[in-house]
Structure 1
Amino acid sequence: MSSSFATFVLRSNASPVLLRTPRTSTLSSPATGALTALVLQRSYSSPGIRPRAPAPIPLGSAKDQAEFERLVKEAESAPATSHPDAKTPVPEEFEGDTNPVTGEVGGPKREPVRFGDWSFKGRVTDF
């Protein structure tokens, strides 16, 4: 062989294992030297290619860190603004559970179809 390593692939139930034996002239017998010099290595990974985890962000001074934490806390506690196209809630016509006009108990506070609550593009979806 032209390379300095002889490569043998053994098949097992899980995955192939790559066996390498160095070829040197100092081994007394090829069989004994090959058995003692076997190095097992996975054929699908190498130790130098693995990516390293990113380093943590440097904190800087304690004053800058405290200001950053304060700004993050303010940004998280700010009230959420609604979208300008969002529907405004419809005010209720009466207080309580009984409709004073119809005498209905437990019914809708306002007529839902009148304001489009149960309709989509003019088509009623809940009846």
Structure 2
Amino acid sequence: MASSLATRVLTSSPSTRTSSLGRLLATAPSAGAAATPALILCRLYSAKSLRPRGPAPIPLGSAQEQSEFEQLVKEAQTTPATNHPDASAPVPNEFEGNTNPMTGEVGGPKREPIRFGDWSFKGRVTDF
């Protein structure tokens, strides 16, 4: 009886497992036998459920439909994003490389921030 109850508990939902644990422990053999409460708990929580965890994939029928669907998904994921028509064009950098040729500053901004109406101080941008 204990083995059939154990099988039913292992294949049931977690809430049913908790409620059936008391009955399973009550029907377990005495302390000197092989199945102890610790062993039963170990088997209870380490066993994989026989039911799938998530929704099953939708069957598409033929292999041709499956490959067509995968191709469409791949195309949809690789299509480059375009900018909004009202968005302004990106401002080009004033110089190439890491050193500003006019000031000699190394690692500074590539564009002068005040020229384009932005000024930032400690991460906050203000507009004059």
Q: TM range, normalised to the smaller chain?
A: 0.3 to 0.5
Q: Give TM-score scaled by structure 1 length.
A: 0.42
Q: Give TM-score scaled by structure 2 length.
A: 0.41
Tell me which of the two structures has the higher relative contact order, counting C-alpha pairs closer than 8 angstroms and 6 or more residues apart.
2
Name the structure with the higher strand share.
Answer: 1
Structure of greater Rg: 1
Name the structure with the higher helix share.
Answer: 2
